[in-house]
Amino acid sequence: MKDVFLDTDPGIDDAMALIYLASCPSVNIRAISTVMGNASLDNCTANALFLKEKFRLTAPIYRGASLCINGKEPHSFPDHVHGKNGLGDVVPINTELCCESHSAHRAMANLALQSPSKITLLAIGQLTNVALAILAHVNFSKDLNEIILMGGSLNFPGNVTAWAEANIYGDPEAADIVLRSEVPITMVGLDVTMKTRISQKFLKDLTSGLGDLGGFLDQINGFYANHYAKHTENYDFPMHDSLAAIFLTNPELFITRRGWLSVVKHGNERGKTLFRADEKGPHTVCVDVDVTNALDLFRQKILDKYS
């Protein structure tokens, strides 16, 4: 069983990662925190609470950062990808559920302290909350077991600029703090997420077996697919955040390299991730994935739990 702290900016693909994690008997979601990214912090937090109710989760939810680590306002939000509300503007986001009172970074540090070397931090948004936890709580990086992050790219072009992936570009200073920490880190970046694509047939096979919940997933992913089709005339879309969750449950489906990751903070390559191969390095990077088995696993786990 893996004890997981999920840091997320829901987000349509974040919602899919969350339902996958909730479907895995080998995963214990101990806590969830929110960060701005795919939408404002208010929207991402409301979405997390809404999804908690929809997916019948019990994990506490902590509100995180609304500003970048350097105190600056975030870039504009990607309404064209995730809708104004972050979940495709397809259903009203309402729930009676509330957040816990602690901040996200304090909750991360507390949980790591309570369960030293046991917590996997799965970060599928920008890294602001994680960097705050590292800066504010001296033992945090030692207490964590590992960080698995969705973000960055080695050889695939960026998805915000020609060089940068969204989660790293959102707060490169935070990414720099996280990559310089002593925590073992695995990067699940665009090199593998862009090739793991959800087709319309795959989506139908998944959602048609899930009743009302399937209808909701179909609607939010329909918005996401339409965005991708505007550029490619192809409704397939990449599986970003869920693939990081699949690495957490099934790392044997990935080919990885060890080494040292860093991030460019200045100039027009700001937000680009760099990698120096070294078998003794603290970082692991996913360079390839068994797409067929990753997709099969994803669909089967969700159907087993929710159909």
The burial of 291, by beta-carbon neighbours within 10 Å (0-12 exposed, 13-18 middle, 19 or more buried), is given as middle
Residue number with the shortest CB distance to ligand RIB? 166
Does residue 189 belong to the site contacting Ca ion (CB under 5 A)? no
Q: Tokens at residue 112, please? A: 């790591």
Q: Token pair for residue 230?
A: 């505007």
- Applying CB under 6 A, which of residues 74, 125, 172, 271 lies at the interface with ligand RIB? 125
Minimum CB separation of residue 78 from ligand RIB in Å reads 8
3-state secondary structure string across 20-45: HHHHCCCEEEEEEEECCCCCCHHHHH
- Count interface residues toward Ca ion (CB under 5 A): 6
Residue 233 parent element (H or E): none
9 makes contact with ligand RIB (CB under 6 A): yes
Q: What whole-number distance in Å separates Cα of residue 257 and Cα of residue 281?
A: 10
Does 245 help bind ligand RIB (rule: CB under 6 A)?
no
Residue selected from 14, 165, 171, 176 as contacting Ca ion according to rule CB under 5 A: 14
Catalytic pick among 82, 105, 227, 240: 240
Q: Which does 165 bind (CB under 5 to 8 A by kind): Ca ion, ligand RIB, none?
A: ligand RIB
- Please count the residues of this chain forming the interface with ligand RIB, following the rule CB under 6 A: 15
Q: Which is nearer to ligand RIB, 159 or 249 (CB)?
A: 159
240: annotated active-site residue? yes
Instruction: Give the Cα separation of 145 and 161 in Å (integer).
Output: 32
Touching ligand RIB, residues 12-51 (CB under 6 A): 13-14, 37-38
CA 302 – CA 307 distance, rounded (Å): 8
Q: Considering the complex, what minimum distance in angstroms separates the CB of residue 9 from Ca ion?
A: 5
Q: Is the peptide bond before 11 cis (omega within 30 degrees of 0)?
A: yes
Residue among 170 and 259 whose Cβ is closer to ligand RIB: 170
Task: Tell me how far apart the alpha carbons of residues 204 and 206 are, in angstroms, rounded to a whole number.
Answer: 5
Smallest CA-to-CA distance from 183 within 266, 112, 128, 242 is with 112
Residue 110: how many other CB atoms lie within 10 Å? 17
Interactions with Ca ion, residue window 223-282 (CB under 5 A): 241
Site for ligand RIB contains 241 (CB under 6 A): yes
**Stretch of 11-19, 113-121, 204-212, 283-291 lying at the interface with ligand RIB (CB under 6 A):** 11-19
C-alpha 45/C-alpha 82 separation (Å) is 14
> Which residues in 129-168 contact ligand RIB (CB under 6 A)?
150, 159, 165-167
Residues belonging to the active site = 240
Which residues bind to Ca ion, rule: CB under 5 A?
9, 11, 14, 124-125, 241
Which residues bind to ligand RIB, rule: CB under 6 A?
9, 11, 13-14, 37-38, 124-125, 150, 159, 165-167, 240-241
